[in-house]
A and B are shown apart, each in its own frame.
Chain A
Amino acid sequence: MKVLGHLALLAASLFVSTSAFATHKSWVLQHAGGQCVFDASMPDFGQNGAGDYGDIFLWNGYDSSRSAECPLIAANRWGTSGTVAFNPNRWAEAKSAFVHVYEGSSTAFTCQAVARLRVALAPGGALYYGTARSVSGVGNHTLELISNTSWGSTLEANEQALIRSLDYQCIIPPNSAVRGYGAKLCQNWADCHDAGARDDSQENSTYVQGNGADCTSWGLETARGADGLTINGSGGDNRAHVVCPVLPPALDSYEHTGGFIKRARLYIAGGTPGAGCQSNGSCPSCYFDWEERDTGLEMTSSVFTWNSNGYLEMPNSPLVMTKVPSAVSITCLAYRGQRIRGYTMEMSETRVSGGQ
């Protein structure tokens, strides 16, 4: 019985340890590269002469390297009221910080995390830097800004302070792009202790809402404001390319495969969308546009169809992304006078299997 007792204690301790180190350790915040912005913009010099913006990625089409900021949108971090209860941690403790890039030249592609943290109570405050990381060689790469659980430098030393802002500052070489970026912000424990098995089960979902004013464009002048993004320029076929980066809900610990989108609606006003616009050609032509992270393949959905309640909607719901996406956006070719108000959709969330 003594041996059995020892075995019992061993088994119990193993179980406690394994259970405590199960999945769901971090909130994964993903962004399309098109959410990045240049420090100094040159709208006339973008990819293929199209402009700096209006793309799912942030392309540097200029002939020299340019500095850009990729702001981390820190939202959807939740605490739990379960048997282990804790409030949302809004700190910079992270398991991973990633930038998916395309390197199109022989120049190094370099990114560095830069944060403002609430180390002192006063507003504003100092900037805290992680270690700059680089990658070289033509093709797709993922830059990991955290090495051995450390941001490095002053950011690592202060990572348990509340995030006021977090930017990835990248030096984008010529003909290169930020494809997507994100972070795995630890849920409750320092460095997340993320040793659990991966689980891609799409068991949950939630609603997502995005703003029309977050869309960018090229081709015709557009105006950004309280009512969204309005196409007000003229010329050519009087259509503008508009891209609205989709910010997914916070995911469970990993960038997951098999995500789905349902009930997508893109709210449109102005111009002449309306009943019959698909047959007379006046509907904006809009669809989901996403890139598979590991293959670099760009994928598109069916073109949205008009609903008389004032929005375009995705047909053939749900849309399933079988591979991990590096970026997701809604892309439109819309006419002068039309206005993108914003979008909503239902997006999958992965398994909640406990842990901290």
Chain B
Amino acid sequence: MKVIQWVLAALGGSTLVAVSFNVGAVEYNYNVGPNYAEASGTACRATTEAKEYNIQRRAGEIGPILGSERVVCPINRRGTSVYGRTGSTVNPETELTVNSITVTLNDSSSTTTGSCFAYADVLTTNSVVFGPVRYACATQGGCTSANLSYTGNNDVSLPFPAITNNRTVNFGYMCDLGRGARVLYSSTSITPNPSSI
């Protein structure tokens, strides 16, 4: 940059000034979202540290070793606002608007199944809310009842429960995994706070 500044200073031409101004005016606002939170199934954990004994992980998947097991999968959104933004809304650190949660399951057993549901801790009432259960099946987005004979990979779309005042500090999804069922990954779309700049 020093070389360029020296050349500009030596020449001092209006054309040069105009060029540098135009290029320098390029702006990057970093406000285009939504906030996509993508995570491997390995980010899920057992309901207790002791139950980790019955969990097997490999890159890109988590499932039980024996029998069935529930895993808890917190969704991490990192920043709640777009880049470099604070304030401008009432509770920017705790408000949550989930647009969609998609979890991809693998079911290799024709006698068991895998299912998932969304959850949230309601900050203002100190209570919890749950979304409806979706089972792995041949239908994209999942089924509302179990289909034990299904095998393969497919997505389940999890409706997110209503939260009083839309405020939480603990949300995500849980999956009940039969032997042979695995969580592969999840993708969550979240509206930043505030929703528009």
Question: Interface residues, chain A, CB within 8 Å of chain B?
Answer: 4, 7-8, 10-12, 14-16, 18-19, 24, 29, 35, 37-43, 51-54, 69, 71-88, 90, 114-116, 122-125, 127, 163-167, 169, 203-214, 216-218, 221-228, 247-250, 263, 265, 267, 269, 310, 341-347, 349, 352, 354-356
Contact A10–B76 (Cβ < 8 Å): no
Q: A351 → chain B, closest Cβ, in Å? A: 9
Q: Is the pair B171, A247 in contact by a Cβ cutoff of 8 Å?
A: no
Please report the C-alpha to C-alpha distance between residue A226 and residue B118 in the assembled complex, in whole angstroms. 9
- Residue-wise, chain B 172-195 has the 8 Å CB interface mask toward A (1 for contact) of 101000000000110100000100
Chain B residues touching A, majority SS: mixed
| Structural contact, B94 and A344, CB atoms closer than 8 A | yes
A8-B15 contact in complex given A81-B32, A209-B94, A210-B76, C-beta closer than 8 Å: yes
Contact A37 B23 (CB under 8 A): no
What's the least CB distance linking B163 to chain A, in Å? 11
Chain B residues with CB under 8 Å of chain A are: 1, 3-4, 7-8, 11, 13, 15-16, 19-20, 23-33, 35-43, 45-50, 52-53, 55-60, 65, 72, 74-86, 92-94, 96, 104, 106, 119-121, 123, 126, 128-130, 140, 152-155, 168-172, 174, 184-185, 187, 193
Residue of B nearest to A84 (CB): B26
- Of B40, B74, B81, B130, the residue contacting A206 (CB under 8 A) is B81
Bound CA–CA A78/B82 (angstroms): 7
Q: Which residue of A lies closest to B74 (CB)?
A: A211
**Identity of the chain B residue whose Cβ is nearest the Cβ of A29 in the assembled complex:** B78
Known: A37-B42, A51-B49, A206-B81. A212 touches B121 (CB 8 A): yes
Q: How far is the CA of A167 from the CA of B79 in the complex (A)?
A: 21
A43-B83 contact in complex given A37-B57, A163-B38, A226-B120, C-beta closer than 8 Å: no
Beyond A24-B28, A39-B58, A77-B36, whether A342 also contacts B86 by CB under 8 A is: no
User: Looking across the interface, which residue of chain B has its beta carbon closest to that of A51?
Assistant: B49
Query: Given A41-B53, A224-B46, do A85 and B32 touch, yes or no (CB 8 Å)?
Result: yes
| B15, B79, B193 pick with most chain A CB within 10 angstroms | B79
A225 touches which of B1, B47, B55 (Cβ 8 Å): B47
Which residue in chain B gives the minimum CB-CB distance to A5?
B15
Known A41-B49, A72-B39, A209-B169; further 8 A-B contacts with Cβ < 8 A: A12-B19, A53-B49, A123-B104, A124-B153, A210-B76, A211-B75, A341-B126, A346-B86
